[in-house]
Chains A and B, each alone.
Chain A
Amino acid sequence: LAKTTQPISMDSYEGQEVNITCSHNNIATNDYITWYQQFPSQGPRFIIQGYKTKVTNEVASLFIPADRKSSTLSLPRVSLSDTAVYYCLVGDSPYNAGNMLTFGGGTRLMVKP
């Protein structure tokens, strides 16, 4: 299993762009990178998933360099409601059922007014 390393916490201000980097040095060829968001007392929620280069959706962008040993979640113009814990997961192709999907410690993002 590819182990992931993220910063424990980050602070930002409303309106700023936030970039959270995840390190996954032993990522395998079949592994995808997925990010989740978790609010207190709730289960995590899917944000974005990618394999290489750049992926963008309505809430975030995911940047993956060519060597795929790290990835960066980018949140544009954060608001107070983006205060949450963000998890990076690395796992086998999502098209293969029943992968052992493990979460690391996550990054606690605090957005200040």
Chain B
Amino acid sequence: NAGVTQTPKFQVLKTGQSMTLQCAQDMNHNSMYWYRQDPGMGLRLIYYSASEGTTDKGEVPNGYNVSRLNKREFSLRLESAAPSQTSVYFCASSGSNTGELFFGEGSRLTVL
């Protein structure tokens, strides 16, 4: 099993451009999460989805939108990228039986 898969792994954008980060999990988990991690810092929660069809804001949702397309997929969109959004983005999922978070490998985004 692949677990949690994120695409792309690397992306460079210019200020004002838009892009979507894709995340898919094959563990039949209900809950999915998007975090960002700035250099030398901890993870901050952007948005999360308790189940298909629901999404909620996390600690730092401004400048982002999400879509829970189906149970497997949870995408993160930057409508107008800013240099402050330069970060590594991690997607995670969890099943309701243990609550353990399973993370993807991360997507490194640079906004010039």
Contacts and interface: CB of A to CB of B under 8 A. Distances in A.
Interface stretch (B12-20, B29-37, B79-87): B29-37
A16 B28 CA distance: 40
Contact of B56 (A43, A87, A95, A100): A100
B99 A32 contact: yes
A106 B56 contact: no
Contacts of A102: 44-45, 58-59
A98 B56 contact: yes
A94 B45 contact: no
A34 B99 CA distance: 9
Contacts of A105: 41-42
Count chain B CB atoms within 10 A of each CB in A36, A41, A44, A97 and give the residue with the most. Answer: A97
A103 B42 CA distance: 7
Interface in A73-112: 85, 87, 91, 93-106
Contacts of A99: 31, 99
Contacts of B49: 98
Given A43-B92, A43-B106, A87-B42, A101 B101 contact: yes
A102 B104 CA distance: 17
B30 A98 contact: yes
Given A98-B50, A103-B35, A104-B42, A45 B103 contact: yes
Interface string A34-59: 10100001111110010000000000
Given A102-B59, A103-B43, A42 B50 contact: no
Interface of A: 32, 34, 36, 41-46, 49, 85, 87, 91, 93-106
6 closest A-B pairs by beta carbon, nearest first, are A98-B50, A94-B99, A43-B103, A103-B43, A97-B96, A105-B42
